[in-house]
Amino acid sequence: MDILLYNPLSRNGKNPKFIEKIAKHLRKSGNAVVSYSLLSIDNVDSFLSGCADTDRIIIVGGDGTINRLANVIATLDIKQDIFMYQAGTGNDFVRSLKTKAKIVPIKKYLSILPSVHFHDQDRLFLNGAGAGLDGFIGHLVNTSKYKKNKLNYFRHAFEGFAKFKPISATLNVDGQEFRENKLWFASMMNSPYFGGGMKIAPTANRNEKKLQLVMVKDVPKWILILIFPTIYLGWHVIFKRWVKVMNADVISISFDKPTYLQIDGDVEYPIDQFSTYRAK
């Protein structure tokens, strides 16, 4: 049996006809299909215990939906195979897997996710966690009157450039401490993409043990605006004077004043320090 789980708060999850269209597509393979709202499941462990080991769990949604699921099931022993049906607006997670399949097996990737620690809590992340300008842009996107898509991310990016001011921070990368006095943003990446296709960390690989820190610093605003579009192709890393890339196991940052932290697009504010690491 195929068990279809969807997020009714997401763009596509709000559309019952879209969910039924997916179910109809899955039935063509000969499997029985049932669908559930993720919000209707009070206890995920009990829910999955009631499913047969041979059932397929298929998640409908984008990065935000998968991130929330990953954090819920992190300590559970899941017997069923887990798949993602590509239907979200971001899908940077699946983009990094380099597959064109509509139904993508994801279970093995959910067991090797890194964590971000802030405000005495830990959260797993799929793609990246970053603070500063990228967090502020995430805040603008999430509170926007416009739908989430690449065009509006681009629109709010330029709004962010106009309003955000770089901040000073102390960074510790695998025990090496240094200061940055004009830091635009620092993103800790588990895979190349964020922001719906921006290739911020071209050589990051979720199968590697180390995370990749990408910093943009000291750059005048007008040059940053010119560099920004090159991120979609990963070309921004050639501007080594202003873009710094480091691989590390543990990265922590303390800011001189509160700023925005984004975790796979979800935003926390205010934060003045956070760290990222991959569980051993």
DSSP codes joined into one string, the chain? -EEEEE-TTSTTTT-HHHHHHHHHHHHTTT--EEEEEGGG-S-HHHHHHTS-TTPEEEEEE-HHHHHHHHHHHTTS---SEEEEEE-SS--HHHHHHT---SEEE-HHHHTS-EEEEETTEEEE-SSEEEEEHHHHHHHHHHT-SSPPSHHHHHHHHHHHHHH---EEEEEEETTEEEEEEEEEEEEEESSSEETTTEESSTT--TTSSSEEEEEEES--HHHHHHHGGGGGGTGGGG-TTTEEEEEESEEEEEEEEEEEEEETTEEEEEEEEEEEEE--
Reply yes or no on domain 2-111 having CATH 3.40.50.10330. Answer: yes
Residue 3 tokens read as 């068990």
Residues 6+ apart with CB under 8 A from 38: 5, 6, 7, 8, 65, 68, 69
Stretch 132-151: mean pLDDT: 87
Q: Please state which of the four CATH numbers 1.10.1840.10, 3.30.428.10, 2.60.40.10, 2.60.200.40 is assigned to the domain occupying 116-278.
A: 2.60.200.40
**Residue 12, pLDDT score:** 66
3-state secondary structure 227-244: HHHHHHHCHHHHCCCCEE
- Looking only at the bridges linking them, the beta strands covering 176-189 and 243-248 are unpaired
How much of the chain exceeds pLDDT 90, in percent? 68
Q: In the beta sheet, which residues pair with residue 195?
A: none
How many other CB atoms are there within 10 angstroms of residue 124's CB atom?
22
pLDDT band, very low/low/confident/very high, at 131 (cuts 50, 70, 90): very high
Higher pLDDT: 168 or 76? It is: 168
pLDDT of residue 11 exceeding 80 = no
**Residue 88, pLDDT score:** 53
Contact 194, 205 (CB under 8 A): no
**Residue 89, pLDDT score:** 52
- Rounded to 5°, the CA angle 79-83-86 comes to 165
| Max intra-chain CA distance, the chain | 60
Sketch the domain layout of the chain as residue ranges. 2-111, 116-278
Provide the Cα torsion 180, 185, 186, 191; round to 10°. Answer: -160
**Residue 280, pLDDT score:** 59
**Residue 15, pLDDT score:** 75
Stretch 166-194: mean pLDDT: 97
From residue 147, alpha-carbon distances to 105, 120, 153, 154, 206 in Å are: 28, 32, 9, 12, 29
pLDDT band, very low/low/confident/very high, at 152 (cuts 50, 70, 90): confident
pTM of the model: 0.90
Averaged pLDDT of the chain: 91
Residue 225 tokens read as 């605006």
CA-closest candidate to residue 163, choices 244, 274, 259: 259
Scored b (16 or more CB within 10 A) or e, 202-234 reads: bebebeeebbbbbbbbbbeeeebeebbebbbeb
Residue 173 tokens read as 């990368």
**Residue 121, pLDDT score:** 93
